[in-house]
Structure formats: C-alpha cells, structure tokens
Amino acid sequence: MKLTIEDVRSRFIKHFDGSTGSVYASPGRINLIGEHTDYNNGFVFPGAVEQGMIAELKVNGTRNVRAYSIDLKDYVEFSLDCEKGPNATWARYIYGVCREMMALGVPVEGFNTAFAGDVPLGAGMSSSAALESTYAYALNDMFGDNKIERLELARVGQRTEHKYIGVNCGIMDQAISCLGKAGNLMRMDCRSGEIAYFPWNPKGYQLVLVNSCVKHELKGSPYNERRLQCEHVAEVIAQNHPEVKSLRDANYDMLEEVKDQITADEYKRARYVIGEVVRVLTVCDALEKGDYETVGQMMYETHFGLSKEYEVSCEELDFLNEIAKEEGVTGSRIMGGGFGGCTINLIADELVDNFKKVVVEKFEAKYGKKPVIIDVVIGDGARKLC
Ligand code: GLA
C-alpha cells in the first residue's frame, strides 16, 4: 500500500507533543543499466520510483535529535554534538546526515522526527539512500536556507554511507534520490557529475521489477571488496597508461596487457566494468532511436556479466533471469548492488500479464515462496510535502 503523509503525521503526533512539523520525502530508485559503474567513475542510468521515505521533523529547542522509526517501532535519542553516534543502524543514517550537514556549515538544531518508508528493504531499490536524501533535503530546507545544491546533498548521503555505515558506495543512489524527475530517467556521468534527463515513455513496453525477496545488505557484503579490486586493476593499468584514472578510462586491450599482474578474479571484475561502461552509452543511443530490442539485449548482457564476471548474483536471481528469457521478455537483469533483491524486466505490453503469472508460479514451485511483482512508475526526487 502506498505510504501517505497521514501515515507518518499520525505517528508523529502520537509519539511527540501533539504538534506537527514539516514533512519531506525522497524516493528509492530503479536503474535501467550501469551497475557498479558509479564508483568506477563511469555512467549510470537510474530513475526515481514512487516508493520512498517520508519523514516529519520539528525543532525541539535542544541539541538532541529524538527519532522514531515507525516501521521498526524503535526510538533513539542522540546528541548532535556527540562524536560517537547511536548504535542502531537506522539512526546512524540520520546522525551521519546531521553531522555531514553541520560539517558543511549548516547550523542544524535539535529536532523531533518520525519516519516510515514503502521501498521494500533489501530489494536493491536503495531504501537507505532514500532515508539519507530525505534528511539531507529536510535539514537544508529547515536550517540551511536551501543553499546546498542537490548534488551536494547526494554527496552528504554518500559520505554518510562511507563514514557511519561502512559501505563505500558510489553516488548513483543518492544522486537519483535527490535529483530524480517524474517521467524521466537520468543519465549521470559519475566523474564530472554531468546529468542528462531522458523522458521515459516506452511505447509498447513496460518496466516490471521482480523481487526475489532474497534480502541483500551491502554492509558486510563483498561490495567493498569489489570496489577495491576495480581500483587495483586501474592502478596496475595506469603504470603503462597514466591517462587511466579509473576503469572508466580502460579498454579490453589494456586489460589484456596486465592480465598476468592481477588475479583471475580481478580480471573478471574489470572485464565486466569495461563492458558495462560501454553498454550504458549503447542503451542511450538505442533509446533515442526507440530501439528497445537493443536496450533489452544490453540488459541481458549486463546480467550475464554481473552473474559470471562480477559474481554478485545468486541462484534465485539467475532463475528469474532464465524465466524472463523463456517467456520472451525483451530485457532482464539483476538490479542494484546484487547479492539478492530484484530483477528489472523490460517487457512488451502484450506479454506483461502472462509473465507476471508465470514468474510467480515457477518461482514458487522451486523455492516455496512467491516473488513480489512491482510495477515501475518513475517519480520525483527529494521534496517537501507540507
Ligand atoms: C549500490 C550502491 C551504488 C551502486 C550500486 C551498483 O546500490 O549504493 O552506489 O554501486 O550498488 O550499481
């Protein structure tokens, strides 16, 4: 069910002193293509979704933040000035955003807050970025005269992941959560920060997510290790090619030159990334021509790479991908960081209903539980609701 302002407001009133504050929202995301390219300084192609986080905030005249997670029914209070943040992970996101906004000179004051979300957790749809962006946007509005631009707010969320959560993520999730536009996908050059919006109105096709419900969490996963492997390959290539600052600048020939100096795993990781950087640009060209068959083919290639070269898939996601192929789905792949979560599927209109039915039946027959189907609607980025 779609989360509403009232769902959050009623809890905020109940939990605190009965008064109301300001309400903000930020979305989760899909990503059409460009996975694990952001921290390699390549391109990504995400879109914001309608699901996200909603938070109500009101200054409380102290230096403390009193935070209530409606979904977890958990309450945490922390001081803005304390070097050591709270223990609960969900509260560390809020603490991290507060501290990073303060580091940018925003005079954050103590506040009461309650929040809830309707992005499925661990589905690879960036519920954590939605949380970070909601608070970064809110604090900028409440205490910072909206002086910090949206891309910088996204960086606040990214630094929160790095410094307070321990996930060395790229910028994609926070960027789309802050900068998304309804009806548009956003291509971003993660090196320069340059952004281009592409209206997403595929005639005759739909995007559908299938959530395997295998919960993924980047914290403690091999995500950071993948990043280090990529950076190491780029460093080795740079010894012969100083112009290579990250894998975004490398090509297959350069990789072959250093094959003996890197591990077999590193070789596979880099092969995937080099291919993926090119695939995003191929997809952009294809979209401009309305060539969805090519878009779909690239999605299947990405899935293959994520599964066999980058090795961030799992049995359930590979199975979902196989079903998509069997059912004539135009494109299908793992979405997000991997290790669980959703596949994203580009499906011709006339096949959508049957695919939804068949994928649920086959998955349930094999794993004894139903995957969850999510229709994608491209929504807006961070905003004030009232
Ligand atoms: C996670 C990270 C992103 C990105 C994706 C993979 O969602 O937060 O920065 O690396 O994985 O594309």
Contact 65, 50 (CB under 8 A): no
Q: Tell me the average pLDDT across 156-180.
A: 98
Helices then strands, each counted (H, E), the chain: 11, 13
Ligand 1 centroid to residue 20 C-alpha, Å: 35
Per residue in 108-134, pLDDT (tens digit) is: 999 999 999 999 988 999 999 999 999
Non-local CB neighbours of 53 within 8 Å, separated by 6+ positions: 25, 26, 115, 116, 117, 119, 127, 130, 131, 133, 134
Give tens-digit pLDDT for 328-338: 999 999 999 99
253 is catalytic: no
In terms of Cβ atoms closer than 10 Å to its own Cβ (0-12, 13-18, 19+), residue 350 is: exposed
Q: For residue 161, give the ligand 1 atom closest to its CA.
A: 8
310 lines ligand 1 (CB under 6 A): no
Count structural domains, the chain: 2
Global pTM? 0.97
Distance 365 CA to ligand 1 centre (A): 31
pLDDT tens for each residue of 262-311: 999 999 999 999 999 999 999 999 999 999 999 999 999 999 999 999 99
- CB-ligand 1 contact for 170 (6 Å cutoff): yes
Q: Are strands 43-44 and 74-79 parallel, antiparallel or unpaired?
A: unpaired
Mean pLDDT of 87-115: 98
Note whether 218 and 326 are same-domain residues.
yes
CB count, 10 Å around CB of 11? Answer: 18
Q: Does residue 218 register a pLDDT over 80?
A: no
> Could you tell me the two tokens for 293?
């068959």
Per-residue model confidence (pLDDT) at position 152: 98
Task: Return all residues near 129 (Cβ < 8 A) that are at least 6 apart.
Answer: 26, 28, 29, 157, 173, 174, 176, 177
Which tens digit of pLDDT belongs to each residue from 350-379?
A: 999 999 999 999 999 999 999 999 999 999
**326 in the same domain as 214:** yes
CB 259 within 8 A of CB 271: no
Q: Is residue 310 domain-shared with residue 358, that is, in the same domain?
A: yes
Cα–Cα distance between 80 and 355 in angstroms, integer? 50
Round the average pLDDT of the chain to a whole number and report it: 97
Nearest ligand 1 atom to alpha carbon 36? 12
Q: Which band of pLDDT confidence, cut at 50, 70 and 90, is reported for residue 1?
A: confident
Burial 113-151 (b: 16+ CB within 10 A, else e): bbbbbbbbebbbbbbbbbbbbbbbbbbbbbbbeeebebe
CA distances from 370 to 26, 105, 207, 256 (A): 28, 48, 19, 43
Residue 362: predicted pLDDT: 98
Catalytic residue from among 173, 249, 349, 353: 173
Residues 15, 61 within the same domain? yes
Which of 30, 35, 36, 178 most suits a substitution to test ligand 1, by most atoms within 8 Å of the C-beta? Answer: 36
Please tell me whether residues 176 and 232 are part of one structural domain.
no
Q: What is the CATH number of the domain that holds 82?
A: 3.30.230.10
Residue-level pLDDT at 155: 98
| Mean pLDDT value of segment 7-21 | 98
Of all atoms in ligand 1, which is nearest to the CA of residue 39? 10
Q: Give the pLDDT band (50/70/90) at residue 138.
A: very high
What is the average pLDDT across 223-242? 97
* Shared domain check, 262 and 177: no
Residue 220's pLDDT is 75
Helix (H/G/I), strand (E/B), else coil: 57? strand
pLDDT band at 215 (very low <50, low <70, confident <90, very high): confident
Indicate if ligand 1 lies below 6 Å from the C-beta of 52: no
Q: Are residues 137 and 55 in the same domain?
A: yes
Residue 223's domain is classified under what CATH number?
Answer: 3.30.70.890
Which ligand 1 atom sits closest to the C-alpha of 128? 8
CA 206 to CA 345: how far, in whole Å?
8
Determine contact, residues 152/110, Cβ cutoff 8 Å. Answer: no
Same domain, 218 and 141: no
Give the domain extent around 296: 205-375
Measured distance CA(268)–CA(295) in Å, rounded: 23
Domain identity same for 213 and 73: no
Regarding the beta carbon of 276 and ligand 1, being less than 6 Å apart is answered no
* Structure tokens belonging to residue 88: 């609960």
User: How many whole angstroms separate alpha carbon 363 and alpha carbon 212?
Assistant: 9
Ligand 1 centroid distance, CA of 109 (Å): 31
Is it the case that residue 219 has pLDDT exceeding 80? Answer: no
Residues 19 and 43 in one domain: yes
Q: How far is the CA of 10 from the centre of ligand 1 (A)?
A: 33
Whether 307 and 362 share a structural domain = yes
Verify whether ligand 1 is closer than 6 Å to residue 38 (CB atom). yes
pLDDT band at 320 (very low <50, low <70, confident <90, very high): very high
My answer on whether 178 and 226 are in the same domain is: no
Q: What is the CA radius of gyration of the chain?
A: 21
Hey, which of 30, 32, 38, 174 would you mutate to test ligand 1's pocket, going by the most ligand atoms within 8 Å of its Cβ?
38
